[in-house]
Structures are given as C-alpha cells and as structure tokens.
C-alpha cells in the first residue's frame, strides 16, 4: 500500500504545473520587463490573466521552451493595464499557483516578493523612487500602521513568520507612497524542497509525501496496536480453561481424597 501511494505521489509531482516570476517582486514601474516561467512535464503551457490568455508575450518575445518541461513568456515593456493575477494552464485542465503583480505609472513602488517566503527565512522590503536613487529615508507600514523607518530605504525581517503576513506599503517624506502588496509566508515542509513556485505549502510535492507517509505510519501503528491487543486477548482465552471451575473442582476432590485416606490411616 505504501509503495502504491508513493508511486501516485510521484506521478502528482511529475505532472505538477508551477509558475515563477523574474524578477521576484510584486510591484513594477511602467516600461519595466517581467518574465513568467511555466514549468511542468507537459509542453504547451499557456499563461493566463483574468481567465484570458496573455498575448503580449507573443508580440514582444516569442514563447519558447525555457526548459525541457516548460515555457517562458516575457512582457516588455509592461504597463499599468498588465496588473492582475497570472497563472499557467494546460490543455488537460491543470493550473499552477497564482502570482499577483501591480504595475504603477507613479514614482514609488515597494519591492516585495511575489511568491511566498519560507517561514524562518530573511526577507527584505525595498522602497524605490524613480527620482531618487539613494540617500532617502523611507517609512514602512503594515495595514496602514507604521512599523519602522530606514535611512537606506530597506526593511529586513530576519526571521519571517506567519504573523508577518499582510499588506505592506512604504512612504517617502515629500516623495509619495507606494501601492500596497501582500507578503505571503509559507510553512516549512520537513521532507520537501522549497522552491519559489509554490503559493500553498500543502500543495508542495514534498509536503504531499510527508502528509501521506505520516498518515500511513499512523494507520500502521493503529493496526499493530490492534494486533497486540488481539494477541493478548487470545492469550487470555487460552489460559482461561486452567482456571475453570472444573479444574478447581478436580483439584479440591483430589485434596479431599488424600485427607480422607490420612484420617483412615490414623484410626487404624
């Protein structure tokens, strides 16, 4: 049973479709470039946005095989209308993780990872201004609440946790503010290899293996426990006849006969 489950899990891992983005950030200035990589075993992946196939990449950069098991779509330049959620799909109905990006025509962005950050890792949020290359103080906000300032425009969370998830933005005094973007944190999987393509930790192939093996191990332990209880129960049944009233009765009868014989011998 374990072998069959592992084989099925391996098939799921092989057939998995994933999407990653380069550069790995969720906010862009207009006229920048962004590349999406659809990865999986089957060819012919299509990049979608709002349930519609993305055509821009065919106009600026042909959709070519980035690897033997995927395809690449580069949008250059990118415009505000390109903001939205992207994912890959196949003819077989498979869908990848979702990546959301925001493209602004303004002068401020917050460079925040577009894919989940593994819990325990370090993550740096960078406030960028088109007009200022360096030497500016940025204020960072989570859900609109001020969480810190930096004279170099960067905010680093050294050991990120699930409590750090949320909507972030940054401001520069006299320089405006960035749009808000969501920072997502994924839980580590004991047996899986963390990649940038997963948005849900439970969807990672390694996590699937870990959860399945843990379930199988629990079932086996329960079965072994039931077998042990059954063996002990059978053992009690086998011992029971030696303690039956019949055996006790025979034992006492034998004892009484011996006493009677002794009394008769004394009288003689």
**For residue 201, what pLDDT is reported?**
42
Whole-number Cα distances in Å, 229 to 51, 169, 216, 219, 242? 56, 60, 20, 15, 21
Contact yes or no for 96/87 (Cβ under 8 A)? yes
Torsion angle (degrees, nearest 10) of CA 4, 6, 10, 12: 80
pLDDT on residue 65: 39
Q: How far apart are CA 143 and CA 168, in angstroms?
A: 6
pLDDT digit of tens for each residue in the chain (268 aa)? 444 444 444 444 445 788 999 999 999 999 999 999 988 765 567 888 877 888 767 544 344 434 446 788 899 999 999 999 999 988 778 889 999 999 999 999 999 999 999 999 999 999 999 887 767 899 999 999 999 999 989 999 999 999 999 999 999 987 789 999 999 999 886 434 444 333 444 444 455 566 677 788 889 889 888 988 888 888 765 555 555 454 444 444 545 555 555 555 555 5
pTM given for the model: 0.63
CA distance 111 to 102: 10
| pLDDT, position 200 | 45
HEC per residue, 70-93: EEEEEECCCCHHHCEEEEEECCCC
Q: What is the pLDDT of residue 116?
A: 94
Distances 87 to 100, 195, 222 between C-alpha atoms, Å = 9, 16, 42
pLDDT of residue 195: 40
CA–CA distance, 116 with 107 (Å, rounded to integer): 26
The pLDDT assigned to 173 comes to 84
Task: Say if residues 27 and 179 touch (Cβ distance below 8 Å).
Answer: yes
Residue 10: helix, strand or coil by DSSP?
helix
């Amino acid at each position: 049973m374990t072998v069959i489950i592992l084989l099925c899990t391996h098939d799921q891992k092989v057939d998995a479709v994933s999407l990653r983005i380069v550069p790995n950030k969720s906010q862009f200035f207009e006229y920048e470039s962004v590349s999406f990589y659809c990865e999986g075993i089957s060819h012919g992946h299509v990049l979608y946005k709002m349930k519609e196939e993305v055509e821009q990449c065919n106009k600026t950069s042909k959709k070519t095989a980035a690897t033997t098991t995927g395809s690449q779509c580069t949008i250059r330049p990118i415009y505000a209308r390109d903001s939205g959620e992207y994912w890959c799909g196949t003819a077989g109905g498979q869908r990848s993780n979702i990546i959301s990006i925001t493209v602004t025509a303004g002068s401020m962005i917050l460079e925040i990872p577009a894919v989940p950050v593994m819990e325990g890792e370090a993550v740096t949020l960078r406030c960028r201004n088109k007009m200022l290359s360096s030497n500016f103080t940025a204020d960072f906000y989570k859900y609109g609440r001020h969480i810190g300032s930096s004279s170099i425009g960067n905010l680093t969370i050294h050991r990120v946790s699930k409590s750090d998830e949320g909507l972030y933005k940054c401001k520069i005094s006299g320089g405006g503010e960035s749009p808000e973007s969501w920072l997502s944190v994924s839980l580590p999987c004991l047996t899986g290899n963390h990649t940038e393509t997963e948005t849900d930790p439970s969807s990672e192939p390694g996590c699937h293996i870990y959860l399945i093996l843990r379930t199988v191990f629990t079932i086996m332990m329960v079965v072994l426990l039931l077998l042990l209880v059954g063996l002990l129960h059978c053992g009690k049944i086998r011992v029971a006849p030696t303690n039956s009233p019949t055996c006790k009765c025979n034992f006492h009868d034998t004892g009484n006969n011996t006493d009677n014989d002794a009394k008769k011998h004394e009288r003689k």
